[in-house]
Amino acid sequence: MSQSEPLFFSLITPTFGRPEEVGEFLESLLHQQYRNFEVIVSDGTPGDALRPQIRRFLDNGVFPLTILHEEYIKVSPARNAAAALAQGDFLIFLDSDCIIPPDYLNVVAEYLERHPDVALFGGPDLAERGFTTLQKAINFSMTSFLTTGGIRGGTRRIGTYLPRGFNMGVKREVFEEVKGYSDFVCAEDIELSIRILKAGYRSSYIPQAGVYHKRRTTLVKFFRQVYRFGAARMMLNERHPGTLAVAHVFPLVFSVGFVLSILLLPTFEWFFVLYMVYLGMIMIFSTLTNESAKIGLLSVVTTLVMMAGYGLGMARNGWEMYVRGNKKGIEL
């Protein structure tokens, strides 16, 4: 490909039983300023029920749309199946509960033209103004520097960033070289990123290439999601030793400490006060960020849920793998 030729992107999204979200996702792509792209939806919905509901996008005149269907197909095989058909210079994996800003591909294309050595990239997950109060609170807890948002994806320097699958681009020939997504479950995006970096390629965080990520809609679903993340982190370290950093253990330490701070009242009141100060900072920063005291207060709850879920998942799988000796870990 010569420098004068525009980059061609293949946007890939796996989905299961989310017709409204897929519709919103595709609708947002109709407004992309950069038009040199295709879209591949890899759907596992039983009975191919999604296709009739998104048929209107098939001949939209803006982008070619391919719909793959295999009942109950899992996320990684769904992405790999779509990638096998993709024609793009870069594959961009996006979650079906994302809304893509109109300038997203423009930003990505301009960045990649300036940094031709980057083979892997990602960007932030944002909360759109129209999101629910809970979605905004969850977004704050997942992305804030006060929580695990400060460590998610590791460093943002070119070369070492680990993109997440909700907003992750990879050069197509590199994806094929490392044989795509593996059999790894839940943290499959991080596992793929690690293999790409080990193969000698460079990654980059593009701060302007954000997507609006809706995330889970209830606290119970959110807890289950982060529980799986915590459990998968232990499995990830088993497959790629040395990838478990001290910072990744923070939610577990935080959760144990929080319980102890309550149990030790009033003898060690200062310990409990430290937690109240920390949670107070989260409430204040979230309130200022979202311009809503309600979201600020709810962010305290979502942060506690996130820490507890992730920490419990890590502890549960740590026990299973290193005490009981089941190196495969719990089923996710």
3-state secondary structure the chain: CCCCCCCCEEEEEEECCCHHHHHHHHHHHCCCCCCCEEEEEEECCHHHCHHHHCHHHCCCCCCCEEEEECCCCCHHHHHHHHHHHCCCCEEEEECCCEECCCCHHHHHHHHHHHCCCEEEEECCEECCCCCCHHHHHHHHHHHCCCCHHHCCCCCCCCCCCCCCCCEEEEEHHHHHHCCCCCCCCCCHHHHHHHHHHHCCCEEEECCCCCEEECCCCCHHHHHHHHHHHHHHHHHHHHHCCCCCCHHHHHHHHHHHHHHHHHHCCCCCHHHHHHHHHHHHHHHHHHHHHHCCHHHHHHHHHHHHHHHHHHHHHHHHHHHHHHCCCCCCCCCC
User: What is the pTM assigned to this prediction?
Assistant: 0.90
Across 71-90, average pLDDT: 96
Q: How confident is the model at residue 158 (pLDDT cuts 50, 70, 90)?
A: very low
Task: Indicate if 247 and 176 belong to the same structural domain.
Answer: no
What is the share, in percent, of the chain residues with pLDDT greater than 70?
95
Give me the number of domains the chain comprises.
2
Handedness of CA 48, 50, 55, 57 (dihedral sign): negative
pLDDT at residue 211 tops 90: yes
Does residue 169 sit within a domain?
yes
Alpha-carbon Rg for the chain, nearest whole angstrom, is 20
Asked if 194 and 235 sit in the same domain, the reply is no
195 vs 217: CA distance, rounded Å: 32
Average pLDDT over every residue of 91-118: 96
1 assigned to some structural domain: no
Domain boundary among 217, 250, 280: 217
Tokens of 30: 């109709």
Compute how many other C-beta atoms are within 10 angstroms of the C-beta atom of residue 46. 11
Give a yes or no: residue 329 inside a domain: no
234 and 191 together in one domain? no
| Residue 330 counted as domain residue | no
Kindly state whether residue 4 falls inside one of the protein's structural domains. no
Of 216 and 197, more confident:
197
**Distance from C-alpha of 90 to C-alpha of 10, rounded to nearest angstrom:** 6
46 with 187, same domain?
Answer: yes
pLDDT in the model for residue 246: 84
Chain mean position to CA 280 = 27
Whether residue 200 sits in one domain with residue 97: yes
- If one compares 1 and 209, the residue with the highest pLDDT of the two is 209
- Give the per-residue pLDDT at 1: 45
Q: Is the peptide bond before 6 cis (omega within 30 degrees of 0)?
A: no
18: tokens are 């989310």
- Does 327 fall in a domain? no
Q: Are residues 178 and 202 in the same domain?
A: yes
Domain end point (choices 201, 217, 233) = 217
83-87, 98-102, 139-143: least confidently modelled range? 139-143
Answer whether residue 96 shows pLDDT above 80: yes
pLDDT of residue 4: 59
Q: What is the pLDDT of residue 113?
A: 95
Task: Print the domain residue range for 28.
Answer: 9-217
| Domain co-membership, 269 together with 171 | no
Both tokens assigned to 181 = 């997504």
pLDDT of residue 185: 83
Interval 235-265: pLDDT, tens = 999 999 988 888 889 999 999 999 999 999 9
Mean pLDDT in the chain?
A: 91
Residues 61-80 have a mean pLDDT of 95
Tell me how far apart the alpha carbons of residues 137 and 207 are, in angstroms, rounded to a whole number.
Answer: 21
Q: What is the pLDDT at residue 157?
A: 44
Residue type, 52: P
Predicted local confidence at residue 149, as pLDDT: 66
Residue 157: CATH number of its domain? 3.90.550.10
Residue ending a domain, choose from 217, 251, 279: 217
Residues 303 and 190 in one domain: no
Domain co-membership, 233 together with 192: no
> What is the rounded average pLDDT of the residues 124-144?
91
| pLDDT tens for each residue of 267-297 | 999 999 999 999 999 999 999 999 999 999 9
Is the pLDDT score of 105 beyond 50?
Answer: yes
Backbone angles phi, psi at 243, to 5 degrees: -85, -10
Residue 290 within any structural domain of the chain: yes
Closest CA to 16 of 75, 82, 66: 75
Q: Is residue 151 part of a domain?
A: yes
Q: Do 318 and 273 fall into the same domain?
A: yes
Per-residue model confidence (pLDDT) at position 244: 87
Assess whether pLDDT exceeds 50 at residue 153: no
Task: List, for residues 289-321, the tens digit of each pLDDT value.
Answer: 999 999 999 999 999 999 999 999 999 999 999
Whether residues 196 and 237 share a domain: the answer is: no
171-203: pLDDT as tens digits: 999 999 999 999 988 889 999 999 999 999 999
The per-residue pLDDT for 19 is: 85
pLDDT band at 154 (very low <50, low <70, confident <90, very high): very low
Same domain (yes/no): 132, 260: no
